Amino acid sequence: MRWLLLEMKSKNIGLFAFFIYTVLVLVPLWLAVDRLIWIVGYDVIDWIQSLERNYVSMGTFQFTLLQASISTIVTLAIGIPIAWQLGRYKWPHDYLIRSILTMPFVMPSIVAAMGFLHLIGENGLNIRSNQGTWFATLIVAHAWFNLSLVIRFCEPVLSTLDPQMEEQMLLLPAGKTRLGRFRYLWLPLLMPSIAAAACMTFVFSFTSFALVRWITLGENTLESMMASIGSSAGINGYMISRNEIILGSSLIQFTILLLSLWVMSTLQHKRQSRLPKASESIVKKKNNSGWLIVFPALVFAILPLITLVISSFRIRESSASGTTYSWSTAGWEYAFTSTNSLPSAWDALFNSVGYALVALVIALPLGWMLAQYICDLEKLKPRLARILDVFTMLPFAVSSVMIGLGVMLGMIRIDAEFFYSLWLTPALAHVMITTPFVVRIILPALRSIDPLYDECARTLGISKFKRFFKIKVPMLRGSILIATIFTLAMSMGEFGASWVVTRNSDWTTLPIMIDSLRSIPYNNSLTAPAANAVASVLMLIALILFISTEKFRPRRDGGMF
């Protein structure tokens, strides 16, 4: 009888978690979409056609698709040789090299945008004034971001392959040439990993916002265009076409992201089955000529960040006679002083840390409960478990700007006075974004726990409470820590949703403050260095969080987190 009660309890917790998840994550989105539809009517074809009917959105989809495809190809072209070098040869300070190359992935996009902006600016390569370079810069910036995905996905396959396989291959006629070995051994092995990395790169580039907003002026992705027109959407009888455009573009985004996620999850399955078991006895050679690839890659990975820090200390002084730069901390002082028109970076830091903690306190337990429920159900009702699994992944297919609109048009509209007086409101968007990630990180860890441990403990008469804290928590420790740090990092760097939500409120966050500082017009020479100063702070936080995850990550797990 007690058994049954306990089972019931865990089921109730599961249902409770799904209820909270539905209310917090899906209802705002639903309300927002409902509102938009209520204003323009239900005509899907018309929504999509409205993109080409309006000057703001004309050509946006084509541009988004084009840049995302090229970004993916370029990222792979740069990433695969690097992964090859890292995986096939022996490197001194191997761990450090790997960390540096995978670090860009955790950098907030606005930090990368500021870094690249200064890299191509007058004080750097000085190619900014030539518009022909903008598209290429965007592609390179996307490659910078996603390089780590290619490395992280492909490198384990390369580094853990049993050398016997290659030796056998050498004896076969098809393996006589390098090309042959690549064609018949490596490519089939690598293909699923390459495709998975390509898929993720495509998704990230497709929904790129901060980089597009700052680098390619006048060109928009669906994401950045939705953000810029979002503030006038959802108002009955006013700028109706804006609502159509948002519905149309979010529908396109949703479809493409969903498709990519589906491809991704299929590939993930294939990848795991094709990954040959690691052999500990692999002896790797050094490859000095490989430095020709690895060294530039290292420079490439750190350069935008170093530029960023340096330029936060460079103050521009210009007059009709010319422009000079001098060293000064004035930009930092400007950023950290509060004025009537600008909050200080301390306020932004306080809000950012606060929202990250709130997101953590809600998303981590919620994600964990969801994961636990799915995991429990998998044994009893695999079909239902699968449905719930997909259900928790849905927000992945919704871009962050759309989540921001969800909060603004969905929640805030209900009672603006209440939600604006509530410091917590922007954190809702962060919860919506981070919860699915927590589920993704914890679920595989839960699956890998052998139920025997729990059964043994039960037979030993250990209480449920004790079993949880003494057995489950220690076994999940690594994943929980990664989920914790990941939630914090995602929330601290969150740009799209906060851009939509917090700009109409009193509470700015670090990424938004960087953006507003950089947007201040008129020739105040301190705003750009101040933006870089705040970006440097955010970069430092991201770095600390990144180093902490690296410590807990099982080495070469080949996963994304």
Partner 1 sequence: MKNRIVLLSIFMSAMMVAGCISEAIEDSVNDDNSSPEEYVWEDDGELVIVTYDVYGLTDEMLSEFENQTGYDINLMKLDDAGSVLSHLMQHKGVQIADLAIGLDNTYLQTAIDNQLLWEHFANISNIKSEVLEPYNGRLAAPFDHGYMCLNYDTEMVDGENLTVPTSLWDLTNEEWNGKVAIPSPETSSPGRAFMTATVDYFANDEDNQTDWTDWWTAMSANDAIITTGWSEAYETHYTGGYGEYTEGYVGDAHMVVSYCHSPGVESWYNGNWTKSAALDLPRAAFHQVEYASAIEGGNLDAASAFIEYLLTEEVNTKMPTENFMYSVLNDTDLPEDGGYRYHSTVPTMAANVSANDIALNMESWLEDWNDAMVAA
Backbone angles phi, psi at 314, to 5 degrees: -105, 115
When asked if residue 289 is in the footprint of partner 1 (CB under 8 A), the reply is no
Q: Which of 7, 8, 9, 22 binds partner 1 (CB under 8 A)?
A: 22
Nearer to partner 1, 141 or 198 (CB): 141
Q: Which of 381, 447, 466, 470 binds partner 1 (CB under 8 A)?
A: 381
From residue 51 to residue 90, what is the string marking binding to partner 1 with x (rule CB under 8 A)? -xxxxx-x--------------------------------
CB of 41 to partner 1, least distance (A): 13
E strand or H helix at 327, and its extent? strand 322-327
Q: What distance in Å separates the CA atoms of residue 293 and residue 94, rounded to the nearest whole number?
A: 15
Q: What distance in Å separates the CA atoms of residue 349 and residue 51, rounded to the nearest whole number?
A: 38
Q: Which of 82, 154, 189, 388 binds partner 1 (CB under 8 A)?
A: 388
When asked if residue 519 is in the footprint of partner 1 (CB under 8 A), the reply is yes
CB 105 within 8 A of CB 489: no
Nearest to 513 by CA among 488, 495, 489, 486: 495
Residue with tokens 């991201």: 542
E strand or H helix at 286, and its extent? strand 285-286
Q: How far apart are the first and last CA of the chain?
A: 41
When asked if residue 20 is in the footprint of partner 1 (CB under 8 A), the reply is no
DSSP class per residue in 189-207: HHHHHHHHHHHHHHHHHHT
When asked if residue 420 is in the footprint of partner 1 (CB under 8 A), the reply is yes
What single-letter DSSP state applies at residue 526? T
When asked if residue 344 is in the footprint of partner 1 (CB under 8 A), the reply is no
Q: What distance in Å separates the CA atoms of residue 440 and residue 139, rounded to the nearest whole number?
A: 28
CB of 410 to partner 1, least distance (A): 9
Nearer to partner 1, 31 or 359 (CB): 31
With CB under 8 A as the contact rule, which of the stretches 25-33, 104-112, 190-198, 452-460 interacts with partner 1? 25-33
Nearer to partner 1, 262 or 420 (CB): 420
Q: What distance in Å separates the CA atoms of residue 410 and residue 397, rounded to the nearest whole number?
A: 18
Residue with tokens 């002084």: 317
Residue 556: strand, helix, or coil: coil
From residue 248 to residue 287, what is the string marking binding to partner 1 with x (rule CB under 8 A)? ----------------------------------------
CB of 487 to partner 1, least distance (A): 25
CB of 388 to partner 1, least distance (A): 8
Cα 220 → chain centroid = 19
From residue 206 to residue 245, what is the string marking binding to partner 1 with x (rule CB under 8 A)? -----------xx---------x--xx-xxx-xx-x----
CB of 434 to partner 1, least distance (A): 21
Q: Give me the numbers of helices (H) and strands (E) for the chain, helices first please.
A: 26, 4
Nearer to partner 1, 289 or 339 (CB): 339
Nearer to partner 1, 317 or 455 (CB): 317
- Binders in 444-503 for partner 1, by CB under 8 A: 503
When asked if residue 16 is in the footprint of partner 1 (CB under 8 A), the reply is no
When asked if residue 31 is in the footprint of partner 1 (CB under 8 A), the reply is yes
From residue 96 to residue 125, what is the string marking binding to partner 1 with x (rule CB under 8 A)? ---------------------x---xx---
Residue 537: strand, helix, or coil: helix
Please name the residues in contact with 510: beta carbons below 8 A apart, sequence gap of 6 or more. Answer: 345, 348, 349, 352, 492, 534, 537, 538, 541
CB of 375 to partner 1, least distance (A): 15
When asked if residue 132 is in the footprint of partner 1 (CB under 8 A), the reply is no
Size of site (CB under 8 A) for partner 1: 68
Nearest to 425 by CA among 351, 323, 372, 519: 351
Tokens of 511: 């990424």
- Binders in 139-178 for partner 1, by CB under 8 A: none
CB 335 within 8 A of CB 530: yes
When asked if residue 43 is in the footprint of partner 1 (CB under 8 A), the reply is no
Nearer to partner 1, 192 or 395 (CB): 395
Handedness of CA 201, 202, 203, 208 (dihedral sign): positive
When asked if residue 319 is in the footprint of partner 1 (CB under 8 A), the reply is yes
In 284-317, which positions are buried (b, 16+ CB within 10 angstroms) versus exposed (e)?
Answer: eeeeeebeebbeebbebbebbbebbbebbbbbbe
Backbone angles phi, psi at 90, to 5 degrees: -95, 135
Binding footprint of partner 1 on the chain (CB under 8 A): 11, 15, 18-19, 22-23, 26-27, 30-31, 34-35, 38, 52-56, 58, 117, 121-122, 128-129, 131, 217-218, 228, 231-232, 234-236, 238-239, 241, 316, 318-320, 323, 339-341, 377, 381, 384, 387-388, 408, 413-417, 420, 503-506, 516, 519-523, 525, 528
